[in-house]
Amino acid sequence: MRGFILGVLALLPSMATGRDIPQPSAINAEVARVMTETGAKGIAIAVIDQGQVIYVNAYGVRNAKGDPLTEDTVMYGASLTKTVFAYTVMQLVDQERIDLDTSIEEYLAAPLPSYNSPDIVNRYTDWSALDERWRKLTPRILLAHSSGFANFGFLEPDEKLRFHFDPGARYAYSGDGLLTLQFAIETGLGGSLGAETDRIFSTHGMTSTSLIWREDFAQNLADGWDIKGVPEPHDERSKVRVAGSMDTTIADFARFAAAFVRGDGLSAEARAEIVKPQLKITTASQFPTLQPELPAERQRPDLYAGLGLVVFSGPQGRGFFKGGHNDTTANTWVCVETSRRCVVILSNDVRSETMFPELVRFILGDTGVPYEWEYGLK
């Protein structure tokens, strides 16, 4: 087995749940079952208990040649990047460099729609069609996915962002909402968010993680497989994009997940703000993003937007989770706050995603993760 295990901790039951984390051999067997059932080529898993990494392992292969997937293989982080960004923003809040509830107007020298040069549009998005409601946008509103934007501007008929509801009115997932905040911060404070996140990665010993492509990643890199089992090369992302450009390894992200659940690097107030229920989620599923809201009596009562993640309540108490997905990538990160237990799953094969609910339940027990909302399950 290529994983490392802190065996003593793995045997300790959680005081909050009275349930043991399964033995490594049992986790290995369950992952093997999942890979057989789905046909997935590669899965990597980390388990955190009481804020400590107790198990990390990788299974399968990283490319069509059959090279093994390891704990140090660079994998696409996808939208797990969004929670890293929220953590970065809260460090800036702690440093009093930005304020969660100040309009992004304060960080810009000109109105947001006027930043419409081809270079800016290519790097971020196209704001030129926005009305004056852009001045209502704040870091909190953008991190809580309540900007009023579609997920991405290129989904609009003219590929320009527009408001579908007033900022702050409701939840609707928007990657371009986070890119809007990235632009405001980079413009107002100067520099790149990539430099800010690099400092965080260095602090946590995440030596193989970055929001932009690095040549050394090519030495141990995961390609991906799509829903039909067709392999696709890893995308070398040339721009820092806080909505989803992170490359990482399961060993690195386990370190971040453990530090995050412990609250390292943030004031107690900032850490609490990220996982605070910011805004009730009122739709039947996460996608499509601008679907009608459910009637109040049909809305899930325990489902809220946090900052860069989703907050829920379940049998083990309050928890949070974040997913990451593209045509060849499936990731999930689930934590229970009371026990400071987490599972991180990174997969370079999107077919594995259908079994994530079962795999998380096998390791953590019933947490109440709203996978029916996340994946639109019936």
* Residue 249 identity (one-letter amino acid): T
Amino acid 6: pLDDT = 41
Amino acid 187: pLDDT = 97
Amino acid 308: pLDDT = 98
Mean pLDDT of 263-270: 98
Task: Give the span between the Cα atoms of 180 and 107, in whole angstroms.
Answer: 12
CB atoms within 10 A of CB 39: 11
Q: What percentage of the chain has pLDDT greater than the value 90?
A: 94
Tell whether the model's pLDDT for residue 248 goes beyond 70.
yes
Question: Which residues make Cβ contacts (< 8 Å) with residue 161, sequence separation at least 6?
Answer: 125, 126, 127, 129, 130, 149, 150, 153, 176, 180
pLDDT in tens, 172-203: 999 999 999 999 999 999 999 999 999 999 99
**Residue 53, beta-bridge partner list:** 48
Average pLDDT, the chain: 95
Amino acid 73: pLDDT = 99
Question: Which residues make Cβ contacts (< 8 Å) with residue 243, sequence separation at least 6?
Answer: 79, 81, 82, 85, 175, 176, 178, 179, 182
Mean pLDDT of 292-310: 97
Task: Give the span between the Cα atoms of 345 and 366, in whole angstroms.
Answer: 17
Tell whether the model's pLDDT for residue 3 goes beyond 90.
no
Instruction: Copy the structure tokens of residue 45.
Output: 């898993």
Amino acid 378: pLDDT = 62
Which of the four pLDDT bands, split at 50, 70 and 90, describes residue 17?
A: low
pLDDT in tens, 70-112: 999 999 999 999 999 999 999 999 999 999 999 999 999 999 9
- In the DSSP assignment, the letter for residue 243 is T
Three-state DSSP at 7 gives helix
Q: Which domains does the chain have, with CATH numbers?
A: 4-375 (3.40.710.10)
Residue given tokens 């993760």 in the structure block = 369
pLDDT in tens, 187-245: 999 999 999 999 999 999 999 999 999 999 999 999 999 999 999 999 999 999 999 99
Polymer length of the chain: 378
* Residue 292 identity (one-letter amino acid): P
